[in-house]
Structure 1
Amino acid sequence: MLCIRRFCFVMSLMIVVSAAQLTDLEHALNCFIDVYHNYSNTISNLIDPQGIEKLCSDLDVSRTDIRFLMLAWTMKAEKQGYITHEEWTRGLKALRADTIDELKKALPQLEKEVRTPSNFADFYAYACRYSLTEERQESIDIETICQLLGIVLGSTFRPQVNYFVEYLKIQNDYKVINMDQWMGFYRFCNEISFPEMTEYNPGLAWPCFSTIFGHSSPRQLDGAGQTDVGFNHIFHHGSVSSRAVDEQDLEGIVDVFHRYSNTASNLIDPEGIELLCSDLDVSRTDIRFLMLAWKMKAEKQGYFTQEEWTRGLVALGVVTLDKLKKALPELEKEVRKQSNFADFYAYAFTYSLTEEEQKSIDIETISQLLDTVMGSTFRPQVDSFVDYLKQIQNDYKVINMDQWMGFYRFCNEVRRPSNFADFYAYAFTYSLTEEEQKSVDIETICQLLDIVMGSTFRPQVDYFLDYLKIQNDYKVIYMDQWMGFYRFCNEISFPDMSEYNPGLAWPLLLNNFVEWIREKQA
C-alpha cells in the first residue's frame, strides 16, 4: 500500500527537483555526469569560459543568446562564465534532459516556460544578479546594461528598450545601474502604456525614471503640464498627468510618520505598528499590511524607518492616513499582478527573517505565512502543504528560501494542463513501490485520487471513490485505467455525461462506472 507520507513528501520534493521516475534516476545521473565532463575543466572540475564556448557551439546558441541565459537561470548558476557540477545536474534534471541532443531540443520549451509572467520577473532579476561578476558588486556599467536589456527585454519591449538604451548612452549623470533601477525599468515596461505614457507620474517613487530621467536636466513647463526636458527629448514629449510630490507633501508624510514613531528611536516600532494597523482597520496578519511593507521596502519586521515610510507613501501618491487607507485596495491589485507577485512572495519570506544571518523559517511561521500570502489564490494547495508540514512529515523543522520559492512555482506550474497530465501519470508510477509492479490496490488509489484530483474534480472523484469501494470486479487499478479517469474528468461533462460513448475505447472500468451512475440517476 502506498504510504501517503511518502507521496506528500515527493510533492514537496517536486518543489526543488523534477518528476523523473525513481527507477531512471541513477541512469540519468550517470548521463548528467558524462555530459558534464565533456565540457568541464579536468583540473577545476568546472565548466569554465572555454567549456561554455564549446557547449554553446554544440547547442547552436551564442553566449549572448537569451536561451543560454535562461539555461543558466534554470541551473541557478551563480558565477557568470562558470557552471558547477551541482548547477549542471540541477538544470538538466529540471529540463529532463540527459544528453546534449535532449538539452538542445528542450530549449524552445524552456523559453516558453521562462516567458510566463510567473517566471519572467524572477528571470529578469536573475539576469542582473548574474551579471554582477565581482564580490560585493552592486551595480553594472552602462555598456553592459545596454547589452543586457537588448538580450532580456528586446524581443518583448523593443521600442522602450531602444529609447532607454539611447538615453543611457547620451546622459552623463550615471555610470552604473543598480538592481533597484534595473527592476524599475521592468515595472515601467509592464505598467506604463508606450509611447503616450499617460499613467506615468514621476512623483510616485520610480527608482529608475524619477531619478535618471527626472534629474537629467532642468524641469520646465510645457503645454502638457509639468514635464522634464531630458524626458521629453528621449520620449518625444510624452505627457505626465500627475504632479510630483512637492516639499509640502513630504512634510505631511513626515508628520504622519511622527504620529506613530517612537521619539527616542525615530522608528515606528511594534507599538506604533499596532496603532497604525488599528487606524487602517487591518490586522498585523492581513496581507495588505504585508503589501504595504513591500511597497515601503521595509527591511526589519515590526519596524518602519522614516525613509521606508516616505518611500512607500510617495510610491502610493498619498500624504494623509485617510488617503493611505483608501489606497490599500489599489495596492492589493498592483501586488497581485503577475509581474509583481513573485517579487512580493519572495519579499514575504525575507521580511520574516528576523535574526541577523537567518536563512530559514520554522514550520509554524511558514504555515501562517503561506496562509496569509497564498491562501486566497491557492487554497487547496496551501491546505495540503500545511497539513503535510505540520502533521505528517518529520524531516523538516525549517524551510529555506529555495523551498519557499519552489512551492510558488509548484502552485503556478503543476496545475497547468500542459504539466498536470504528466504529474498525474507520475503520481501513479511513483506509487508502484515494488519491482515490476504494474498496478495499485484500490484503497491506495482512492487515497491518491483524493490527493491529486480532489481539489479540481471533487464531484467526479467522490462518485468514483464510492463506486470503487462497492464494486467487486477490480482489486487493483492499472495505468490505462488511471489515465482513463483523468481523460474522463477532462472530456466528459458531469453529471449528465451526455458525450460519453462506451464504444470509444474507454477502459471497461469506466464503462461500468458510467453505467452505475446512470442507474443511480434513473
Structure 2
Amino acid sequence: MPSRRRRREATVPDEVAPKRSRTQTPSKDTATEFSKKRCLTWFQEYSGPDDDCLGPEGMEKFCEDIGVEPENIVMLSLAFKLNAKRMGFFTAEEWMKGMTELQCDTITKLQNRLDYLRALLSDPTCFKNIYRFAFDFARDKDQRSMDIETAKAMLSLVLGKNWPLFSSFHQFLEQAKYKVINKDQWCNILEFSRAIQSDLSNYDEDGAWPVMLDEFVEWLKDQRGVSGESGMPT
C-alpha cells in the first residue's frame, strides 16, 4: 500500500519472499499453535513495549521482515483482514484481532499466508470489498473525499494491472479539474472498469455513470479521434 512517508520512489513489485517448497518439511515455527502472547510480543517488536500503535517506521521494518514492499498490493489485503483504519498504521487491537483470525503470531506464519492474502484479490467479491475498503483506509480521516494524488496512487495499485483503460484514465485525471474523488465516484470507477469494453462499444450515454466517467469517455473519444484510432486506447 502507498506509504505516507517521504521515501524513495518504488514500483509495485509482484514478488515476495521465496516460497517454501511443497516437499519441504514444515518448520517448527509453523507447527506451533497460535499464541496471543507471542502475537502481542511480535507486535511490540515494531511498536515498542509501551505503544499501542505500529507507525510508519515500524511498518517499514515489518514489511522488510516479511519480505514485502510497503507498496505491494498484498499489504492492502493484509490491512483489510486487520480492518485497519489508517494507512501506514496498525493498532494493537487491529493487529491482535486480525492476526488471530489469520492464526499468525510469527514472521514465518504470515509469510505462509501471503498466497492466501493474494488469492483474496483474485476473487471478484473479495476484491470488491477490498477496493471499497481502500477508499476509507487511504483518505484523510477529517475529509469525506480522497485527494486526487492519493486516489491516483491507490487506483494504480488496485486497477493498474487489470484494467486495460487504466493508463488512459490516469492521463485523464492528470489533466482534469478534479482535486478529490468521493466514494460514489470511487465505487463507480470499479464498476465501469468491469462493465465497459475497452473500445467503449457498450457504453451508454444515457447510463447512470457519474459525470466524471462521462467526461472520461468524451475525453478518450477525442484522444482517439486526434490520433486517428478508433479501437484500443493510446
Asked if residue 95 in structure 1 is aligned to residue 126 in structure 2, the reply is: no
Equivalent of 2:114, from 107, 112, 115?
A: 107
For residues 156 and 215 of structure 1, the distance between their equivalents in structure 2, rounded to whole angstroms, comes to 22
For residues 230 and 213 of structure 2, the distance between their equivalents in structure 1, rounded to whole angstroms, comes to 12
Q: Which amino acid aligns with 1:163?
A: S
118 and 161 in structure 1: CA distance in 2 versus 1, 3 angstrom threshold:
same
TM-score normalised to structure 2 length: 0.77
For residues 123 and 114 of structure 2, the distance between their equivalents in structure 1, rounded to whole angstroms, comes to 15
Asked if residue 142 in structure 1 is aligned to residue 148 in structure 2, the reply is: yes
Equivalent of 2:183, from 175, 179, 182?
A: 179
178 and 234 in structure 1: CA distance in 2 versus 1, 3 angstrom threshold:
farther
Asked if residue 197 in structure 1 is aligned to residue 203 in structure 2, the reply is: no
Gaps in structure 2 of 5+ consecutive residues: 1-31
For residues 142 and 206 of structure 1, the distance between their equivalents in structure 2, rounded to whole angstroms, comes to 19
Which structure has the larger Rg?
1
2:214 equivalent in structure 1:
214
Mapping for residues 38-437 of structure 1, pairs under 5 Å = 38-135=45-142, 137-157=143-163, 159-171=164-176, 173-194=177-198, 196-207=199-210, 211-215=211-215, 228=218, 230-234=219-223
Which 4+ stretches in 1 moved above 6 angstroms?
none
- Number of aligned residue pairs: 197
205 and 238 in structure 1: CA distance in 2 versus 1, 3 angstrom threshold:
farther
Q: Which amino acid aligns with 1:204?
A: G
Cα deviation code 1:42-94 (max 9, x no counterpart)? 44321111111110111111221101111100100011221111211222122
1:432 equivalent in structure 2:
none
TM-score normalised to structure 1 length: 0.36
For residues 158 and 117 of structure 2, the distance between their equivalents in structure 1, rounded to whole angstroms, comes to 14
The answer as to whether partners of 1:140 and 1:176 remain within 8 angstroms in 2 is yes
For residues 55 and 154 of structure 1, the distance between their equivalents in structure 2, rounded to whole angstroms, comes to 25
For residues 77 and 212 of structure 1, the distance between their equivalents in structure 2, rounded to whole angstroms, comes to 29
The answer as to whether partners of 2:39 and 2:105 remain within 8 angstroms in 1 is yes
For residues 189 and 235 of structure 1, the distance between their equivalents in structure 2, rounded to whole angstroms, comes to 18
Q: Which amino acid aligns with 1:231?
A: L
For residues 32 and 178 of structure 1, the distance between their equivalents in structure 2, rounded to whole angstroms, comes to 37
Asked if residue 29 in structure 1 is aligned to residue 36 in structure 2, the reply is: yes
213 and 111 in structure 1: CA distance in 2 versus 1, 3 angstrom threshold:
closer
Larger RCO: 1 or 2 (CA < 8 Å, sep 6+): 2
The answer as to whether partners of 2:38 and 2:105 remain within 8 angstroms in 1 is yes
Gaps in structure 1 of 5+ consecutive residues: 1-23, 217-226, 240-522
For residues 42 and 165 of structure 2, the distance between their equivalents in structure 1, rounded to whole angstroms, comes to 40
